């Protein structure tokens, strides 16, 4: 377990951290491969598409560069229909966000999804009322990486000073959450209920790894007078 730190701001990943979105994303990736005329990867490989930017995934899995734009367009068209229909919140997430707000902790969503899509999903699940902002990538890829999204969130929230003092933490389920936040001096608490393949999080070396929402709540609210001591692991 990590040393006690009083966090003032938590940046929260969306897919694999707040929402179980694998069914929607993998189905849309299959649709994209069909549109490109390229055989889709197997089911286990498709799960690794959840989290990182979609264009990075296509490139990493050998899609010819001239087909990537076609794949992205097909993915986005299909996912627009599935984003809220085929995803669910993980159990305890609304209660977690409510508790963090009650404890005086600021929170924001920071995701590699395009920001308009992320905001629509957050509104659908009622997350937007419990966080201080929803930040994501841009459709034109000018803000694409997780590091760029974290920078966008920190700047929009005026939180650079908090980050410099170690009072900002990222929460995510994949290595790009760990590495993208670390690029700005922000460490990451990794959750195990998401989509990281075996060994990925260990190699990325997050600040801490939690297996339950209660463990996460205890770490995030440590040092806050409004924290519930019963939630501590």
Catalytic residues: 13
User: Could you tell me which residues are beta bridge partners of residue 170?
Assistant: 11, 188
CB 229 within 8 A of CB 50: no
E strands within 124-216?
Answer: 134-137, 168-172, 187-191, 208-210
CB of 14 closer than 8 Å to CB of 118: yes
Tokens of 177: 């959450």
CA distance 112 to 37: 26
* Per-residue b or e along 2-39, where b marks 16 or more CB atoms closer than 10 Å to that residue's CB: eeebebbbbbbbbbbbbbbbbebbbbbbbbbbebbebe
Phi first, then psi: give them for residue 204, nearest 5 degrees: -75, -20
Q: d(Cα 80, Cα 68) in Å, to the nearest integer?
A: 18
Strand partners, 9: 106, 168
By DSSP bridging, strand 208-210 and strand 19-20 are: unpaired
């Amino acid at each position: 377990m990590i040393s006690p730190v009083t966090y003032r701001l938590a940046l929260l990943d969306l897919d694999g951290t707040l929402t179980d979105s694998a069914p929607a994303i993998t189905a849309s990736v299959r649709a994209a491969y069909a549109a490109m005329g390229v055989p889709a990867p197997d089911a286990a490989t498709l799960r690794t598409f959840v989290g990182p930017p979609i264009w990075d995934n296509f490139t990493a899995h050998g899609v010819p560069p001239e087909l990537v734009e076609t794949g992205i367009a097909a993915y986005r068209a299909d996912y627009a229909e599935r984003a809220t229909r085929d995803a669910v919140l993980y159990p305890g997430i609304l209660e977690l966000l409510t508790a963090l707000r009650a404890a005086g902790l600021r929170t924001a969503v920071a995701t590699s999804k395009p920001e308009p899509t992320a905001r629509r999903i957050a509104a659908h699940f009622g997350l937007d009322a419990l966080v201080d902002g929803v930040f994501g990538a841009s459709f034109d890829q000018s803000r694409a990486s997780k590091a760029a999204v974290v920078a966008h969130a920190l700047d929009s929230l005026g939180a650079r000073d908090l980050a410099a003092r170690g009072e900002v933490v990222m929460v995510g389920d994949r290595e790009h959450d760990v590495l993208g936040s670390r690029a700005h001096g922000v460490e990451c608490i990794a959750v195990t209920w998401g989509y990281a393949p075996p060994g990925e999080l260990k190699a990325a070396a997050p600040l801490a790894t939690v297996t339950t929402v209660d463990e996460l709540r205890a770490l995030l609210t440590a040092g806050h007078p409004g924290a519930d001591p019963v939630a501590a692991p």
